[in-house]
Amino acid sequence: MSIISRGFRGRPRESEHKLPPGQYETYDFPVLSAGPTPRIAREDWEFTIAAETGARHRWTWAELMALPSERPTVDLHCVTKWSKFDTEWQGVSLDLLFADVETVAEFALVHSYGGYTTNLPLEDLLDGRAWIAYGYDGADLPPEHGGPARLLVPHLYLWKSAKWVRGIELLLEDEPGFWEGAGYHEYGDPWREQRYQGD
């Protein structure tokens, strides 16, 4: 007589990942946007970093593609409470794009095609923590997920990873973006459940 029933696979192993408080794991990649999906041709796309001095650093699509890329694998956490583990991206580190930018600014306001904005401390975009991502899961980043390129800042809630990114404005004083102006938290740390102002 068998001690183990047929089909028994043992107890499920605990995930090696940890969910931030209040989150649940999903295997899908939900599409959430504040408005219609902009359609930007690569030949029309450009990315600009504007320093507080007025100095501007600009890259066309071809210039971005000529830069060394990285392939980060990161977990995503959305303010709507889903988390997706081990997402695979391709993009250019913001450390590389900021290499020649002279600034004393401490804040960044990210601008997207379509008018969306979000604010972050500049330090959250540097030291290997953020990318301009143009590839996802081994393919071009689709428009519904921010293609041709989006900001990727995986240590914060996903609304900070602006889709359809077109530039970063450096500021001496913090300025709220779209969702922050509507009551979302200024910072958005998923491990501290910073969803809304006062959290």
Tens-digit pLDDT profile for residues 9-54: 433 344 567 899 999 999 988 887 767 889 999 999 999 999 999 9
Q: Is there a domain that residue 198 lies in? A: no
Q: Is there a domain that residue 142 lies in? A: yes
pLDDT of residue 198: 86
Q: Is there a domain that residue 8 lies in? A: no
One DSSP character per residue, 7-60 reads: T---SPPPPSS-PPTT-EE-SS-----SSPPP---TTT-EEEEE-TTS-EEEEE
Res. 153 pLDDT band, cuts 50 70 90: very high
Boundaries of domain holding 65: 24-29+39-192
Q: Is there a domain that residue 129 lies in? A: yes
116 neighbors 38 (Cβ within 8 angstroms): no
pLDDT of residue 6: 45
Q: Is 107 helix (H, G, I), strand (E, B) or coil?
A: strand
Res. 190 pLDDT band, cuts 50 70 90: very high
Please identify which residue in the block is written with the tokens 């990285």: 70
Q: Is there a domain that residue 55 lies in? A: yes
Residue 172, CA distances (Å) to 118, 148, 164 in order: 15, 29, 24
Tens-digit pLDDT profile for residues 101-117: 999 999 999 999 999 99
Cross-strand bridge partners of residue 83: 25, 77
pLDDT of residue 5: 40
